[in-house]
Amino acid sequence: MMRLWFYIMMIGWLAISCEKVIDIDLNDANPNIVVEAELYQGERDFEVKLSYTSSFFEEEEQEIVDNAFVTLTEVGGETVEVPYAEDGLYRIEDYLAKDDKQYTLSIDVDGVNYSSTADMPPNVTLDSIEQRDPMGPFMGDGGKVLFLHWNDNPDQENYYRVIYALNDTLRRSREDVFIFDDGFVNGNETEIPLFVRLFDPGDTVDVQFLAIDPKAYDYLLTLNTIIGNGQPSAAPANPNSNFTNGALGYFAVYNGDQKRIIIEE
C-alpha cells in the first residue's frame, strides 16, 4: 500500500526532478556467507547455493563456496548429506519433503556452523485464475490483471508467495518477488490481484501459488524494502535472515499448487 503512495509521489517529483549517476566511495566489507535454499513439498530436487558477498561496485564473479559440508534433516527423522554439485551448488535429487514436518538445514564452512529450521506450512490449493481489466492508476494499454482465487484458512495466519513463469520462462527478477499475508484478505473464499505486471492477450502464465513458512516470508518482506520493491525504508538494513551465526540469505519451505492460464482478448 505504501508502495502506491510512493509511486504517486514519484510521479509528482519526476515532473520537476532530475536524475543522474554519481560516484560514491564505498568501503569494502569483509566477505560474508550467503545461503539460498528452497525446499518444496513433494518429491523434487533440493538445491543449496552458497556464495560470499563481494564489493558493491566492482564487476567480478561472485565468489562461490565449494568446501562446505551441507546436511538436511527431517526433524525426528533422517539426516542426509547434500553433496556438492557445481558452481557453488549443492544438490540432492528427488528429495521427498513431507507435510507437517520440520526441516533443518545445516552448513559447515571453515569451522563455522550456520543452520536454520523451518516448518513445512500447510498445503494450499489455487482454485482458479481469472483475468480482469485493471482500473485506476494501473490502467495499461489493453493489459490484463490476473486474480487468484483460493480458500484461505481463517483460523490461522497464512503467508503466501507467488512464483510465476511467463511463456515458459520463470520470472525471478526483483519486480517479481510477490508475497503477501492474509492480513487484509483473511477469510474463506478469497481472491487477490497478482500485482507484478499486466499480461497481454496470448501470454501463457504458469502460476505457482505457495504457502511459505513465516521466517522466510519475513526475509522476503525485508528483502523487498531494500531492492526497491516495497515500502522504501528511511534506514535500510540487511533482510532478516533465518540462519544462525550471521549468514545472509534464506532457507525457504514451500507447500502449494500450480495452475496455467492463457490470456484472452
User: Pattern 200-239, binding to another protein, x per CB under 8 A?
Assistant: ------------------x--xxx-xxxx--xxxxxxxxx
Q: Which of 44, 45, 61, 63 is nearest to 53 (CA)?
A: 63
Sole binder of another protein in the list 185, 208, 257, 259 (CB under 8 A): 185
CB of 143 to another protein, least distance (A): 12
User: Pattern 157-176, binding to another protein, x per CB under 8 A?
Assistant: ---------------xxx--
How far apart (Å, rounded) are the C-alpha atoms in residues 64 and 26? 23
Strands 112-119 and 126-132: unpaired
Sole binder of another protein in the list 45, 55, 81, 142 (CB under 8 A): 55
Number of residues that bind another protein (CB under 8 A): 78
Q: According to the binding rule CB under 8 A, does residue 29 interact with another protein? A: yes
How far apart (Å, rounded) are the C-alpha atoms in residues 163 and 256? 11
**What residue type is assigned to position 131 of the chain?**
Q
CB of 186 to another protein, least distance (A): 6
How far apart (Å, rounded) are the C-alpha atoms in residues 262 and 48? 33
Kindly state the cell numbers that stand for 210: 505457495
Q: Could you say which residues in the range 236-255 bind another protein, by CB under 8 A? A: 236-240, 248-250
Nearer to another protein, 135 or 265 (CB): 135
Strands 33-40 and 248-262: parallel
CB of 209 to another protein, least distance (A): 16
CB 84 within 8 A of CB 121: no
